[in-house]
Amino acid sequence: MNIAVLGCGRWGSFHAWYADHIGHSVLLWGRPGSHHLQELEETHKNEYLALPASIKLTSDLKEALTFADICVIAIGAQQLRSFARDLKEAGVPLTKPFVLCMKGLEIGTGKRLTTVMEEELGSDVKTVVWVGPGHVQDFIGGMPNCMVMASKDEALTRQVVDVFASPLIRFYYGSDLIGTEIGAAAKNVVGIAAGMLDGEHLTSLKGALMARGTHELSRLIEAMGGDKMTVYGLSHLGDYEATLFSPHSNNRRFGEDYILGKPFNKLAEGVYTTEALLDLSRQYHVEMPITETVYAIVREHQDPLTMLKKLFLRAMKSE
């Protein structure tokens, strides 16, 4: 099939590589002036991978949409609303499936990314989310993993899974879109907390963090109308190994570097998700101590060690 990957950063370039790897024709799009696109045009590689010559590059969004049977979107979650408007203004019928390969919630509204797509492109837009554990470096090295896809339409989910399944990535079908999206976004916040524990030499508390993280999120998902058990699947708990422990995890590294006072210049989506989760916490009257702690440290500049110790003393009492 013809696969257009919209977004040419770390995950966008990987999804282009992967779609080509399993036999599809691929066009990779980046914004005009994007330094990621410029690097790929000049060298056909970045710090994570080398793209095969068969993958074509473009900065013309209309060209990418016209080419595609399926569009994979891999951009920052906070850019999705404005990007959806760009899709609408491109003047190409948007009847093909859009696969969202990012994890986050919209700050200011707390809205899920599929909701943003529907608000901007209409309720008939075909949107699938693709989330779960895995790092570009591992996949490129041939290390397989399991991931999950979910949408409101089971037939659409199965159609897209059939297109992208391979020995490198085995997919599960997500039946709870709310839980899948919230869990996938929230694991980045837990990842920041895990990095902070690493930075404070409190790594042994990650077990407590994992136990409290899943419990905290299950209550929110249930309050929002989702299945509280979804949090124990691949979108959240199943992604903890890749997010709370891996040296490749941007969110974990952000948390550790924050504690150590090191500059961090990559995208850590969990920083934005923290704000959105607090909006949901207030809206649904669900306490979220981990999220509150990360926010207090990063946004309110409260003492990290004091806040982390307070969090786990509270966790032991409530357990």
Q: Is 62 helix (H, G, I), strand (E, B) or coil?
A: helix
What lies within 8 Å, CB to CB, of 125 at 6+ separation is: 94, 98, 117, 118
Say which of 103, 126, 187, 206 is annotated catalytic: 187
Nearest to 80 by CA among 108, 132, 120: 120
Q: Distance between CA 1 and CA 152 in Å, rounded? A: 23
Residue 94, Cβ density class (10 Å: 0-12 exposed, 13-18 middle, ≥19 buried): middle
Say if residues 117 and 82 touch (Cβ distance below 8 Å): no
Q: Distance between CA 208 and CA 191 in Å, rounded? A: 13
Q: How far is CA 218 from CA 209, 232, 316, in A?
A: 14, 9, 18
Q: What is the DSSP letter of 205?
A: G
Q: Which two tokens stand for residue 261?
A: 């006072």
Q: Cα–Cα–Cα angle for 281, 283, 285, nearest 5°?
A: 60
Q: Distance between CA 63 and CA 100 in Å, rounded? A: 19
Residue 96 a catalytic site member: no
Catalytic positions, written as ranges: 187
